[in-house]
Amino acid sequence: MSDERTRFALALQELDEDALCDVEPLPYRRILLRDERDQLWERLTSRWPWFSKRNLTSQYILMVDEEAFYHHVGGNVLCDLIRAHGAERIYQVNDDKIGEREVDISDFDVPNHADDWYRFDDSFDWFIATTHNNLAVIAGDWLVSAVKTLWPNWADYPYTPPWLKSRPSEERPTREEHLKSRRDSEYYRAVYQGRTEEIAALLDEGWDIQTPIFKMGSALHYAAARGQIDVAALLIQRGADINARSGYGVTPLMDAVSNGHVTLIAQLLAASADKSLRADSSEHAKARAGLTALEIAEQSPYIAALGKARRLEILELLG
């Protein structure tokens, strides 16, 4: 390797000025530092709520089949559009935080479906996201308008998840149904991860606060079972049904009791949760069938295992 390096250095020294002018420069490519990448990602996600999955139907965002997008529009055309908008270099980042870089616009590469990549520039007024499951997201008013002009029948190529492509077209969900399904999933993730700002944003957009999260019941059931105090407070403030039944036939209070969350129990009782209600007498309620919240606490081996002091605290709240 050292001999090769020496020969290369000597060859460069022998080049005259005219020869150097004929050398084609390599495209600019710079690997991003981790802190720099994190700062860019924070700016991008704060500029575009799409990343928190709250804005899927915006007129400034297209979600289409990735292969169709690159077939009908193409990487070279995208480069020309972005360059015409004033960008000479773009950032390319991904979820795995591997190989992220700043590159010349001429180095804009068509994805290979192996990773999730996001491309944008310093303006943060547009981005293109492509995923491993063949989804392309185009964002930014000027970019979306340009793509729609170049690709008039873009609406004929909606994104279809790979697991649905094998199903007959008449059995596939409509675009509206698919968007609702995605938003259901994002609502579930927001509740699961306790992201109160995203939950509030969904509710502001008219989301049904009683939307069930699988058999767990409403978001309030889920928050009560997991001990998510801030999420529960938000949902109670926004009018969640505090005595609603889950698919297991229990109320949020019963879920909080079953999991030994003292603060949640007090929080729900302060919001007028009815502690006299009984769980449904069905197989879905299992050991809690027909019991009140107090009786659940008295009979639960889990509550007993939490220790005498905590068990007494729960019983006193419910007594």
pLDDT digits (tens, 9 = 90+) for 133-165: 778 889 988 999 888 888 888 888 877 666 555
Domain that holds residue 240: 173-318
Lowest mean pLDDT among 16-25, 201-210, 212-221: 16-25
**Pair 84, 220 in one domain:** no
Query: Does the pLDDT at position 170 exceed 80?
Result: no
Distance (Å) of CA 47 to CA 42, 92, 122, 275, 288: 9, 17, 12, 45, 47
pLDDT band of residue 216 (cuts 50, 70, 90) is low
Question: Is the pLDDT reported for residue 84 higher than 80?
Answer: yes
- Mean pLDDT computed over 53-79: 73
Q: pLDDT band for position 193 (50/70/90)? A: confident
Q: Which of 77-81, 162-166, 252-256, 297-301 has the lowest mean pLDDT?
A: 162-166
Mean pLDDT of 261-280: 94
pLDDT at 165: 56
Condensed to tens digits (0 to 9), the pLDDT of residues 103-134 reads: 888 777 655 545 688 999 999 999 998 887 77
Residue 56 banded pLDDT, cuts 50, 70, 90: very low
- 251 pLDDT exceeds 50? yes
Same-domain pairing of 250 and 177: yes
196 and 71 both lie in a single domain: no
- Which region among 72-86, 257-271, 299-313 has the lowest average model confidence (pLDDT)? 72-86
Q: Which two tokens stand for residue 197?
A: 């700002």
Tokens encoding 59: 């007129």
Q: 213 with 82, same domain?
A: no
Residue 95 and residue 145 in one domain: yes
Considering its fold, how many domains does the chain have in total? 2
Among 148, 169, 190, the domain-final residue is 169
Residue 304: give its domain's CATH number.
1.25.40.20
pLDDT of residue 1: 54
